[in-house]
Chain A
């Protein structure tokens, strides 16, 4: 087939581009379902809240529950642990943000903000509730270990204090506080 070069685009040029564009759109339309099938299905997304009875938990005890497939920490702190968390100045914190889903984004990581419940309501100092997922690479930290008496993540050495705030190690953020509320004095609803 002889080819000719013309200054003006020809109808053949138009057909080439239109065909290529249609093929690209078609390929993308086929690719998306193949990619999106790996995302969580609606059945997985529809996760209910959980209720936790706090009554059996003793002072100084840390318990791990399951919430949306992840560990959830509930810890009944001693007076000493509460005082230790309260005494930390914000300037000592690698992550000064509260990371509390009950508070607006960017709230400072004060001890009070770390226990605030749904809608920002003040929590009870004795009860500390947080996600049990280390913000480094997702391991579950162990309670009562590390230099700050809170948690130590054995995977890569991140240390959290008694308010779940990162103090040392590679984790970038404080343990996340999920949305929760006190239904009665000894029962919380998470999520």
Chain B
């Protein structure tokens, strides 16, 4: 889509460089002149916002690692550990340590907030449909890597929530014992992950190692994600193909400035959280050092995993519960082939649009159920049944509603072109 390169080196050095390593040509073609649909709205700023989030997490993470001690060995206070103590030291002693840690911890929440909006946007405008299937699947892989990285990061402070989150999540694998018979493959996997018979010092060490590694793996997959974006080019709110240069604008300065503005707004919200409500998304129980003998009365994951936690708890059978949890993410990879509609954007899909918004509400409702204790009831209704209903709708949305609605729905007529839709019936846009 990007067409032949329009880069012209201006100086002797850039001409010399261009014939040896065309790095500036590559940057020019992908970040400056890249033709981008002229109708991208606010919701398309989240790609840039997510890039900002990943960068911020890596920078704050690298400096925090300079002060963190990944050891479960007994610390200064009975019951604490060197890891727990080093986090306290970061909060109290290290210059600006409190700010760096709050940026990193709240940065994870902001990252997930942005990625969920990005995913819902892709769902709404049909950005997963041909020819963007690989682009979408790479996104699902990035999301899965983010979940794993965030989980391992949550373990590092070695508080009560850290320890029991590590215990519960690694024990998910033990459910495989129910299908592998006498081999007990699941328990062996759990032991292998722990490096012992329970979550302990070896677990903390390896989680730190992997927590440092995975963001760079994410950065690599993000590179593939952007590559896969630049082959077909951006989808857009109309979901129709770009038909020519009149439908596009060069990425710079149009989208660099638009993205920068929204990154700024996002940074304001982020800063508000860090400086005025830094513990808003945290759990106070994680200020208690890890104790392998006492499980906190209410263990809940971070907010961004609550919908999946609600699904796990709503199933009274261990193995099926774990499969429903994992299947909820795996399902996302199949969406490009589950949606049978010829039309991408929900703007022109009156029926699917309603199911979409119901799906958004369903995800929020599942998150709410996940935050409650397991035997909670609201208005006399046991919430576990609400979670079951929510789980059923989650799966039905992808595996039943998407294929069926695509076949039976009559979409609204699509506009002729992006340019006509944006500029009215002007034959062609004025030259930029």
Contacts and interface: CB of A to CB of B under 8 A. Distances in A.
A71 B164 CA distance: 13
B167 A172 contact: no
Interface stretch (B18-26, B30-38, B187-195): B187-195
Contacts of B174: 137-138
A137 B172 contact: yes
Interface stretch (A116-124, A153-161, A181-189): A153-161
A40 B195 contact: yes
Which of B164, B172, B174, B197 has the most CB atoms of chain A within a 10 A radius of its CB? B197
B206 interface: yes
B292 to A, nearest CB: 7
Given A138-B174, A169-B316, A40 B196 contact: yes
A66 B198 CA distance: 11
B250 interface: no
Which of B194, B295, B319 has the most CB atoms of chain A within a 10 A radius of its CB? B295
Contact of B295 (A39, A154, A170): A154
Given A155-B299, A170-B318, A172-B178, A71 B168 contact: no
A155 B164 contact: yes
A132 interface: yes
Contacts of A141: 295
Interface residues on A, range: 20 to 34
A154 B178 CA distance: 23
Interface string B126-161: 000000000000000000000000000000000000
B289 interface: no
9 contacts: A38-B206, A40-B196, A40-B197, A68-B198, A71-B293, A137-B168, A139-B299, A155-B295, A157-B313
Interface of A: 35, 38-41, 44, 47, 64, 66, 68-71, 132-133, 136-142, 153-157, 169-172
The 10 closest A-B pairs by CB, nearest first: A69-B198, A138-B171, A157-B374, A137-B171, A139-B295, A137-B168, A140-B295, A138-B167, A172-B318, A71-B293
Given A139-B168, A140-B292, 17 more contacts: A38-B193, A38-B195, A40-B191, A44-B195, A69-B198, A137-B167, A137-B171, A137-B172, A138-B167, A138-B170, A138-B171, A138-B174, A139-B295, A156-B374, A157-B375, A170-B315, A172-B317
